[in-house]
Copies of this chain bind each other. A is one copy, B any other.
């Protein structure tokens, strides 16, 4: 998905959803959020996402009302990103997506989405991430 186009939130239900969670990382970030991850470095470590991209995605997620950004410490100020009610309502979507992917994985790779805290971080360690448009070697 390359963009968040003309239409805001109306039209086709399917399109609506894709607009909000269509970017590669968005669902993976939400997945981590369901796993209880809340901090910037947790997401970054878990996903191997670049900080700039993570910033962008988190901003969008906050702007979309799926995550809430709130301070949990002052001096220096630190924030955590927690699922809103709307964000939590995406759980069935993520479950469905993960379940389908799961059914295509070899048995030893399987690990159905559990949504418990830190379900299986090891699974994500080996995840290479989406297509990095950046330079391949430079």
Give CA–CA (A124, B13) in the complex, Å: 10
Number of chain A residues close to chain B: CB under 8 A:
55
Q: Which residues of B contact A94 (CB under 8 A)?
A: 14
Return A42 CB to nearest CB of chain B, in Å.
16
Which residue in chain B gives the minimum CB-CB distance to A16? B101
Q: Cβ of B123 and Cβ of A12 under 8 Å apart?
A: yes
B27 touches A14 (CB 8 A): yes
**How far in angstroms is the closest Cβ of chain B from A85?**
12
Interface string of A27-43 (1 = CB under 8 A from B): 11001000000000000
Q: Which single member of B1, B102, B103, B110 contacts A24 (CB below 8 Å)?
A: B1
Query: Shortest CB–CB separation between residue A135 and chain B, in angstroms?
Result: 14
| B28 and A106 within 8 A (CB) | no
Binary contact track A92-125/B, C-beta < 8 Å → 1, others 0 = 1111111111111110011111000000000110
Give CA–CA (A105, B13) in the complex, Å.
Answer: 7
Is A84's CB within 8 Å of the partner chain B? no
Instruction: State whether B18 touches A99 (Cβ < 8 A).
Output: no
